[in-house]
Copies of this chain bind each other. A is one copy, B any other.
Amino acid sequence: MSRYDPSAFPPFAVTVDLVVLTVREHALCALLVRRGEPPFQGYWALPGGFVRPDEGLAEAASRELSEETGLRAHPMPGQGAAGGPVDGVHLVGAHTAGAHLEQLATYGHPQRDPRMRVVSVAHLALAPDLPTPRPGGDASSARWAPAGELIGQSPADGVPLAFDHGKILADGVERARSKIEYSSLATAFCPPEFTVGELRQVYEAVWGVALDPRNFHRKVTGTPGFLVPTGGTTTRQGGRPAQLFKPGGATVLNPPMLRPES
């Protein structure tokens, strides 16, 4: 069985790759960076990089996210059981609301990188709309791309991503789509204070469906601990002034938001 033979083990490279999602202009978008060197030179890829010898996986993901977006991380307490196997991490940028980071899955096909054996621990980050996608200072080397076009739900399938990043992105989008059903994670896409209508637009963008504003309003305001009114109002969406809310303490939604069957 030779379990754990420390003298001779096959060496692997371990990386983290990030699926960073946000909602911009009513569409779910993913952060991509352009590869400057082979393999897949010139292709778009997910941001990521090597795990350093002395850092953990979540730590590496948090560091990479910070390098790519400027978001800084601090641990989000009390998420252990509810947040799934790997605890979520809450991220706070200098001028933005919190974000969410969690482990997604690990990809280790022997030939996924032609240079060597690389195992990538993919992470999923949900962020509010970042004013400037200032990734690395070089604007042409990074962009927000509509997720629907990248995962084959649009006629223009677009250029494929480097490595197996198309598959990783699709898995991340599916995770986000299912997770906002039964958790309050959709608020991670919103600014610190938001209206019910803005939250509904998040659901509509992530799921790609239209939701009834009245039923949605009843549902989210009627779920204890989901939303807390801040007292303020805003008219930034036009129309009648809307109440402003911030996320309540609840992390799980019971009963869940139901995604309409298409």
A interface residue numbers (CB < 8 A to B): 1-6, 9-15, 33, 35, 37, 48-57, 67, 81, 84-86, 103-110, 113, 115-119, 121, 136, 171-172, 174-175, 254, 261
Is A105 a contact of B86 with CB atoms below 8 Å?
A: yes
What is the copy number of this chain in the assembly?
Answer: 2
A118 to B171, CA, bound (A): 25
Q: Which of B6, B55, B172 contacts A110 (CB 8 A)?
A: B55
Most buried by B among A3, A84, A115: A3
Mind listing 28 A-B residue pairs with CB under 8 Å?
A2-B50, A3-B33, A3-B35, A3-B48, A4-B15, A4-B37, A4-B115, A4-B118, A5-B50, A9-B50, A10-B13, A10-B14, A11-B11, A12-B12, A12-B13, A12-B51, A14-B108, A53-B110, A53-B117, A54-B110, A57-B119, A84-B171, A85-B105, A86-B105, A86-B171, A103-B106, A106-B106, A108-B121
Contact B6–A116 (Cβ < 8 Å): yes
**Is chain A's interface secondary structure helix, strand, loop, or mixed overall?**
loop
Known: A12-B13, A85-B104. A49 touches B115 (CB 8 A): no
B103 and A105 contacting across the interface, CB-CB below 8 Å: yes
Chain B contacts of A51 at CB under 8 A? 10, 12, 108, 119
Q: In the docked arrangement, what's the CA distance between A12 and B53, Å?
A: 8
Q: Which residues of B contact A172 (CB under 8 A)?
A: 85
Known: A1-B49, A53-B110, A116-B6. A14 touches B12 (CB 8 A): yes
CA distance A54 to B10 in the complex (A): 10
Does A1 lie within 8 Å of B103, measured CB to CB?
A: no
The 4 closest A-B pairs by CB, nearest first: A85-B171, A11-B11, A85-B105, A57-B108
Residue contact B171 to A10, C-beta cutoff 8 Å: no
Most buried by B among A81, A103, A105: A105
Q: A1-B67, A56-B108, A57-B106 are in contact. List 20 more A-B contacts (CB 8 A).
A: A2-B49, A3-B33, A4-B15, A9-B13, A10-B51, A11-B12, A11-B13, A12-B14, A14-B14, A14-B108, A54-B110, A57-B107, A57-B109, A81-B174, A84-B174, A84-B175, A86-B106, A103-B105, A103-B106, A106-B106
Q: Give Cα A172–Cα B103 distance, bound, in whole angstroms.
A: 15
Of A37, A85, A172, A261, most B-chain CB atoms within 10 Å:
A85
